[in-house]
Chain A
Amino acid sequence: MEKHTFVITEKPDAARRIALALDAEEKPQKLTENRMPYYVARREREIVVVPALGHLYTVAPEKNERSQYPTFNYRWVPRHLAEKNAHQIRAWLEAISKLAQNADEFIDACDYDIEGSIIGYNILKHACGGKEREAKRMKYSTLTKEELEKSYDTLLPHLDFALIEAGLARHEVDWLYGINLSRALTTAAKNYSGKYATLSTGRVQGPALKFIAERERRIKSFVPTPNWRIRAHIEIDGQIFEAQYEKEKIETRKEAQEVQNACIGKNGQVDEVETKQFRQLPPVPFDLGLLQSEAYRLFGYMPKRTATIAQRLYLDALISYPRTSSQKLPPTINYKTILKDLSAIPEYRKLAQDLLTQPTLKPTQGSKDDPAHPAIYPTGKLPQRELDRYEKNILDLVVRRFMAAFAESATKQSVKITIKIGDKNFYLKGMHVLKMGWLHYCESYVKDQETTLPSLTEGQIITAKSVKADEKFTNPLPKHNPSSLLKKMETANIGTKATRADIIQTLYDRRYIQDERINVTDLGYEILEVLEKYCSTIVSVAFTKELEQRMSDIQTHSGKREDLLASTIETLKPVLEQLKQNEQAIGEILTEALRKTRTEERTIGTCLNCKTGKLVILYSRKTGKRFAGCTNFFKNQCKTSFPLPQKGTVKPLARTCSRCGWPMIQLRIKGRRPWTTCLNLKCPSKEERDKHVKVQNMR
């Protein structure tokens, strides 16, 4: 191979896009080396575009002593040397090294953020023979041809070493916390019970779990207080309207009754009609957190899922880089071109054309900024493949939010009519949209706030049909859901935009939390209690926040990686000592919590035959097959049992069948949709379904 330019990218899709953009004829050659696909593009010279597979290097202990802690000596190694299922990485790295041999120019084209910078840096340093100092950097926010070409023509002279230092420090600090604390917990449980179970915690995982647990503790300790709300039903032109008493909440039953009695049998009179106009500004452009929060509110997508979908849309060059903290759209992205491109898409044509008629295009900007990338925006390009409905939803959300940012404010009018019943004031409130403005662009995504009131004049007499005092109670705080937790982590500044969603997922995977309205499991509580008791610093939000700040300081040259790592080790040493000293007590607590969790996971529900036993998942000693049996069988009191599917995972649903009353389960088999059913094979719903299938087959 002749001398060439070597370009490293983060993923195979990105490599393809970059090669396509850089090849003079848009026909790069696709080749393979050691089963790794790569591309050769021809411009003024040959450009070899090589993909990584995300991180190819990771932090690992210097000596591989499993379950030993404390361990403070580490090094960066190829992932296949540290992880079980990473065999592919070896061949990939060999291929990269071979292709780098004849290169005389090196370019890092990985995503321009902390993770991307480390991926590129490690490959250039370890697999390309120390080329990290001479490599140049491509910086782009979309994978469109125009931006990639521009980025290639205006290369940054070197890598962003401050960003790399901050990234390396983040990985190393996280590794030091993660490996040592997780090993301490796992070892304590294993030494006590003799059974191995992975128990993990980390620098951000602990405080995140604490957020949920603290909220749940408040809910579980909550005592409601009573109050009364008084409403009058008023008849106007044959229609009934509900007016609220001027005092929103009344604290005693006696006062509520007095107000009610004072209104009985009296008519109402319109005392005052007040109208107010106000403007509602367009929403700010999406950063990743806002997109995740909206996608959860509108479509119920978990934050991690939204991030994955957005990443796919980015790799298809349909939206800009999604892992951004910015809520600003700079003019350099060329608003006009994007809107022109969007106007070629039938469903956005009219909306985009309306914006293009404005004399100037000035978007509403949010307060947050990101030095590396702008807010998320659509490229205006058409999809080159059929998008699934999830991708379509996220893309539509991004497109509409982008357009809304350029639209005018909405103008609304609020109406407040004061009605006197006896000497008591009641309010009738309405809202009317005078000018849609930006609401027009997001009509399907905003709640209908229109409440039209009849036109009334001051002094008009109206009939009060009834006046009621409703007893209400104060409500506990709502439970956290994945979206509110993500927001909380963002506000508290723990974790990064790229890692928060993954951390929440890990809490689910480790069985510390469950359900969409998040509940902390017994295991989660015990882990947290152990951490709070023996190493409270680790779960302290203030401490984690300070650590985040110190990591950011490295990026701005106000802190050093070595200093941060040294102080991390100094913090961890006494903590780990304390955990080791109390290993027996911790092991006992965790073993009991693990036992409870395992029992809970196996318990399907109450046995309807004996009414006292529990149906649990059991395995036959003879055949090894899985079935559901009553716990009273072991007391010779009940022989109820049900067969269970032998493949996949059975998850008890903690609810009963509406037709037969037996507990429900969900069966999950990889690659198939989850199947929800009750245990009862003779359930009327199953018989009906069988009949229906028979009729269908006969037809």
Chain B
Amino acid sequence: MLKCKICDKEAVENGYCKSHGKAYENVMKTYSEWSKALEITWKEYLSKIAENPLTGEWAKEVAQHLTRNEE
């Protein structure tokens, strides 16, 4: 069984489990709005959403995971 990149659950799509997969989709989708609004880079975007208290737990984990992988 292929495990999710973030938790121990079974990966279903893009290397993520069902929960983190949905969060990953949202993280990817929302970047265009942030980019238009603040003219920021992908990396800055990830850092901003990881710090934002309104970002959901799973989306934060995805943002942190993507940040780590970019470095």
Contact = CB atoms under 8 A, between A and B. Distances in A.
Interface of A: 217-227, 251-254, 473-476
B36 interface: yes
B26 interface: yes
B52 interface: yes
A223 B38 contact: no
B37 A223 contact: no
A218 B49 CA distance: 16
B14 interface: no
Contact of B54 (A222, A227, A251, A254): A222
A463 to B, nearest CB: 32
Contacts of A226: 33-34, 37-38
A220 B54 contact: no
B19 to A, nearest CB: 6
B26 A223 contact: yes
Nearest to B23: A221
A474 B30 CA distance: 12
18 contacts: A220-B19, A220-B58, A221-B22, A222-B26, A222-B55, A223-B26, A223-B59, A224-B49, A224-B55, A225-B33, A226-B33, A251-B36, A252-B37, A252-B38, A253-B37, A253-B38, A253-B39, A473-B54
Given A251-B37, A253-B37, A220 B26 contact: no
Contact of B56 (A222, A227, A251, A473): A222
A473 B59 contact: no
Contacts of A475: 54
Interface residues of B, number: 22
A217 B37 CA distance: 26
Contacts, number: 61
B57 interface: yes
Given A473-B52, A476-B54, A220 B34 contact: no
Contacts of B59: 220-223
A649 to B, nearest CB: 28
Contact of A219 (B27, B33, B37, B56): B56
Given A221-B22, A251-B36, 20 more contacts: A217-B22, A220-B19, A220-B56, A220-B57, A221-B23, A221-B25, A221-B56, A222-B26, A222-B55, A222-B56, A223-B27, A223-B29, A223-B59, A225-B30, A226-B37, A226-B38, A251-B37, A253-B39, A476-B54, A476-B56
Nearest to A222: B56
A75 to B, nearest CB: 42
Nearest to B49: A223
B34 A225 contact: yes
Contacts of B29: 223
A475 B54 CA distance: 7
A76 B57 CA distance: 48
Contact of A227 (B23, B37, B39): B37
A303 B54 CA distance: 29
A662 B57 CA distance: 26
A251 to B, nearest CB: 6
Given A226-B37, A251-B37, A252-B36, A221 B54 contact: no
Contacts of B38: 226, 252-253
A226 to B, nearest CB: 5
B39 to A, nearest CB: 8
Contacts of B57: 220
Nearest to A592: B8
Contacts of A254: 39
A558 B30 CA distance: 50
Contacts of A476: 54, 56
A206 B24 CA distance: 27
Contacts of B39: 253-254
